Structure 1
């Protein structure tokens, strides 16, 4: 894990005093420093940044003639009784944009009879307009189509719609074509200069501005205020990861306030959002954490079902019973999405463990069984973990194509990289950081080779592998991590693109794990992740914190550590009550350490001279992964000792022999009524987490069930339940680990050294 500490700026005393006044004393020197280094240092606009009530929101009519033409056409359609269709998109921004137009325009056009919406199917259609969908709306009787979060570059489809006599109003925020589309109106903030307060609006925010303009043009005191839509705006705006600047930040601020009202039965406007928030609480997601709560739930619907249309009903219906049912369907989709994503991540990592990362610049991973809807998510996760551009592909037998998603790492221009192999591709589209592609089976092997050759030529044979790089905002002591700092940093909310949650570095401290528990998905009772509690201490104080993610054994403990943390709000709290969230940890000396040729020695299968053991950090167990070996390599560099490879070739016991050992342990502990730790089980079986997990499941074949609590296993007798798949998975996992260990037992020292030094860069 690597991090970059931002330079500490000189902050004028006048600015610090101004921050303190505008935050009623909450904002301290840390907040002033953050505001200054992030560029929010104009004292004339500072009040509006910190307090939405002091912000002068930009008029919807700042879009000029485009907005005027759109409003005029809508008024005309209302007066003539025309039928109007909304064309949306299937991600969170597109779904909420559709919902804003559906509810907002629904005050002027009777829903279903004069107003309908159409959202493409993620699994069978692509983003944007398409001719069959246009035909469907024309057959229904639409004379006007309003797009949201899409349409700017669909020039061919726009021409087709016009040939059918349809008018189009485009509301979008994506890249503009070179010439203005031939439409009645295009409302897209990309026409503004980048410093314009509306430039960063997402699709839902643009849709809201259109509704806002219509409400202003046709005022009606009896109509609910347009601000009732702001909770929908906040969801799409933050989920789409646009920069929270100007009106974007304002809409997010007031939108989150509206979102918080949905938790109160007396102020709820959208019962579907209330149901979504309740589900967030049940699974431990923070109530108004859109990025990790509501947004992924909406996105999961199209990833799993393809059709996201019912999400609009969920977000806009006033029928609480129906909303509860639809929220449950969304929750099931999200649980299934997480399960599939986790499975694909594991399978992708298993593939990577068979590769020589010292010669692999771009990860191209394929599996015919992978579900296309999650490949972009997994590719992003793998790219961040391994610090390499990643392409994940699955097979479409109907089209005889490998199809999938690509994600970049460390600013590498993925578009140029993949486009250079365009002659091998069937289709390709995207931008420098993300892309989609398809390829004929006969070209796949050549594509893998060619794109890696291209990468090596482009980067001079070296790939930057800054795994999980973090930008640190502030350096603090443990004593600083209190209520005062939490309240000060709260003044920066909402966090998002352009204004991320502050990362705090504590140097030269100690960490001790104090407990952990496994968190399981309530729908399928499968393990999702671990929640590990720990204590941090330094010369100034000590404090408790939490780490979500990997196994507690993977967390570095002891003194002499540098840790990066966030201060976050406790679960189910909308204000106050904070906790410390661990983001990264490394030995203190590792930040500035430079690996040398004398940091690694090879004593595999040999004996060390008596008395030499203290001179080395010993790698005594044959590793399974590079990450396992790299942890000891980091520690060795940190304490100034070389790492000695001091393990023997692994035994070649069969999976059946391993399973007999596990059965024997289960029988003995059952008769003795004793428990055993997961760590001890792995040691006795000479295996890792994955084989052990499958092995414990496979025990059902011989009448045992394993009950796991707080890292301890107790065995009980159970009715024999044949599960041949579990043993097959156990067998495969054992064989995979043996293959990996055999590699590390035989790999040349030069290859191991080169790979470790590249990871350390």
Structure 2
């Protein structure tokens, strides 16, 4: 069997109201779609229409936010008095777009405005005292933070001591003690009345821009959309309205930097959606801050110079390629350090790039299903990094009980950032394992995956997928619908430069569905097993003007025994799933060969082996009788059987010697009664035109029948041997059954062997 990576959960389903169903059908929608949105708690046409529409007039009044009027008044005073203003941003995509929004807004109303994004390696996250000091020394008289600031107490106190006011605009969790800022604009401020608390940093900046300009800045909808999608905030309420409006605006944008970024990302301007932002634009904006100075990204988003836009877009694209390479290398190095015995993986090494450790932790989490913390150790003995977790473990809550181990620590249930002395690592690892055991936390299920419907292939068509698109944009709290589908894999191939992705098709009766799985390259053998179920999103793949529905794979699982084909030698070093594995050989020569080939401990077949001790069986060669393999399969409780089926003497390939060949060999030894076969075997093989491995078999038969003796590699003919038929030899008879075994096991397709093993 193959367990799913996620813990599959189905939406609560209730019978659809007949009136609502009839209304949806009258509107031209399918019954499948009507049931789906009913189970998503959309129970009236009015609710459905509200979800569909996007209207500027539905955006909330920015002055409902606490201190918005105070912030506007202070900024207007600074402009009238010619006070230099600094926009202080953050180094991620939300911070970059927030900074760009505020910069453009202040330029539009005549401010003397400057901006800076901190370097994560030099200044860290949020307001930095040294950077504030540098900018106040340059003459800055008002600082506006965007996408940060609510935890910047020390730096803001310093600014106050220099007579510089700080306006904080932020959306992150508010600490118990807020900074002594001139004012704090936050959608969840306890003294505010703003009706939607889940804006991104770009959304908060957009609200301040609206208040300053006294109208909604339509030309900045593209920026607020990118920041909102990239920061993974709730895709509900006002965020959903902003993103729907922004996606329309992007398709008409004149923003040079965005156009060039779309070009280098190979994103069609007219097909931009939340997915292309999340997987193409966002990572490129984030990458520059992960590897170094993020400030050029703001210039890219705000420049009016085509050459600068083109150059900076290419720079960000190159940096993103570097980031991907670093992530790939670091993930490989970290994977090699995983201890499967640990409940929580705590992995540390010197010189890893701190900017990518959150991504790496997420990769290891996905691979192992266990919460993971990745740390980079610097030259001062400090270990700094990030952690990612699954729903079963509140990572922040657990580590909060271990605060004494850290010099810096923060985050939330699913993600943390921390710094600690390197000498505390081993103790933290033990404390975490003890905590999981004491709290009896089950980490085996993986993260939740909410499935909307189980669909037959016959229910999936272009019309239904077009209907699903009406529910977009998708994101946090409003995920794309996930579907469970069954079907047999009809076509399969690996794709990508490193064969890291898969493309296949599913078939059931007369229905067929294409599928693609990104990052599933190593799972190809298991994907092709029968009784496999697939979970994914439905999308439209358009190629050469043809539209086809395609399943984008998220997860899969299969029940019962998996039989995996490794008969081709080039597959021998592919991964074996973790578990209690038995590497089994039936022939001593195979045991010796594979011990060197695979660098594994190889067990020679013994009927006393307790097969139930193992869940993975790796069959390295062919048994003399094929039934023996089925008996082992039936006696064990294997999840997977890997069939290598190496044939050391190639019995089936070489077959049985003919009587003529036996006669010619016998006559040869009569003429050459003493032969050192250690050195002359190849000569004899060439002379008699008998394949070497077949010749060795024939010599063994002669030896068993006492036609010859072999002593220290020297063969000598026995004088006047007793006349015996070749068929009397046990070796000869064993070869007959081995040929039958190899013919069945090597020449049949894997499905035939799989069915036979299960019969």
Instruction: Give the TM-score, by structure 2 length.
Output: 0.71
Quote the residue 1:429 is aligned against.
410
1:82-138 CA-partner distances (Å, limit 9, x unpaired)? 21111100011111100111112210135xxx1001111011122111111211221
Quote how far apart the aligned CAs of 1:590 are: 9.4
Structure 1 residues 212, 561: closer, same or farther in 2, change over 3 A?
same
Residues 430 and 646 of structure 1: CA distance in aligned 2, closer, same or farther (over 3 Å):
closer
Aligned residue for 2:407, secondary structure, equals: strand
Query: CA offsets per residue over residues 141-173 of structure 1, 9 Å max, x none?
Result: 222111111111222322221121112211111
What is residue 15 of structure 2 aligned with on the other side? 10
Match of 1:188 in 2: 186
* Residue 490 of structure 2 corresponds to residue 512 of structure 1: yes
Corresponding residue of 1:226: 217
2:69 pairs with 1:68: yes
Residue 519 of structure 2: aligned partner: 549
Alignment CA distance shift 1:603-1:20 (3 Å): same
CA distance in 2, matches of 1:142, 1:603: 70
Is 1:98–2:72 an aligned residue pair?
no
- 1:479 corresponds to which residue? 458
Give the corresponding residue for 2:158: 160
1:238: which partner in 2? 229
Q: Is 1:316 equivalent to 2:305 in the alignment?
A: no
Structure 2 residue aligned with 1:38 = 40
Q: Secondary structure at the match of 1:71?
A: helix
Aligned to 2:332: 346
Paired residue for 1:420, among 373, 391, 401? 401
1:280 corresponding residue in structure 2: 265
**Which deviates further from its counterpart, 149-158 or 275-284?**
275-284
1:557-601 deviation per Cα after TM superposition (whole angstroms, max 9, x unaligned): 15422111211243799997653222222225699xxxxxxx999
CA contact (8 A) 2:392 2:447 kept: no
Q: Deviations over 1:592-613 (max 9, x none)?
A: xxxxxxx999795353769x99
Q: Which sits farther off after the overlay, 51-60 or 191-200?
A: 191-200
Contact 2:494 2:521 in 1 (8 A): no
Query: Are residues 345 and 179 of structure 1, via their aligned partners in 2, closer, same or farther at CA, if it must alter by over 3 Å?
Result: closer
1:388 aligns with 2:389: no
Match of 2:277, SS state, is coil
Inter-CA distance 322–20: structure 2 relative to 1 (3 Å threshold): farther
Aligned to 2:366, the other structure's residue is in SS state helix
User: Distance between the aligned counterparts of 1:606 and 1:559, measured in 2?
Assistant: 30
Query: What residue number does 2:531 align with?
Result: 560
**Cα distance, 1:286–1:433 mapped onto 2, change above 3 Å:** farther
What do the CA deviations read for 1:396-452 (whole angstroms, capped 9, x no partner)?
10x321211111122411123223332233322222221122222322222222222
Cα gap change, 1:58 to 1:130, in 2 (>3 Å): same
| Corresponding residue number in structure 1 for 2:320 | 334
Inter-CA distance 148–466: structure 2 relative to 1 (3 Å threshold):
same
Q: Give the equivalent residue in structure 2 for 1:259.
A: 250
Change beyond 3 A, Cα 1:66–1:644: closer
- 1:363 corresponds in structure 2 to 345
* Unpaired runs of at least 5, structure 2: 563-578, 585-602, 621-632, 647-759
Contact kept? 1:513, 1:557, Cα under 8 Å: no
The answer to whether the 8 A contact 2:580-2:615 is kept is no
Question: Partner of 1:452: helix, strand, or coil?
Answer: helix
Alignment correspondent of 2:707: none
Partner of 1:670: none
Comparing 566-575 and 143-152, the one that deviates more: 566-575
Counterpart-to-counterpart distance in 1, 2:525 and 2:114: 52
- 1:405 matched to 2:405: no
**Structure-2 change in CA distance of 1:282 and 1:247 (3 Å):** closer
Residue 393 of structure 1, CA deviation? 1.0
Change beyond 3 A, Cα 1:186–1:559: same
**SS at the partner of 2:478?**
coil
Match of 1:294 among 271, 276, 281: 281
For 2:239 and 2:257, how far apart are their aligned partners in 1?
24
Q: How many residue pairs were aligned?
A: 589
Matches within 5 A, 1:65-214: 66-110=67-111, 114-178=112-176, 181-191=179-189, 197-214=195-212
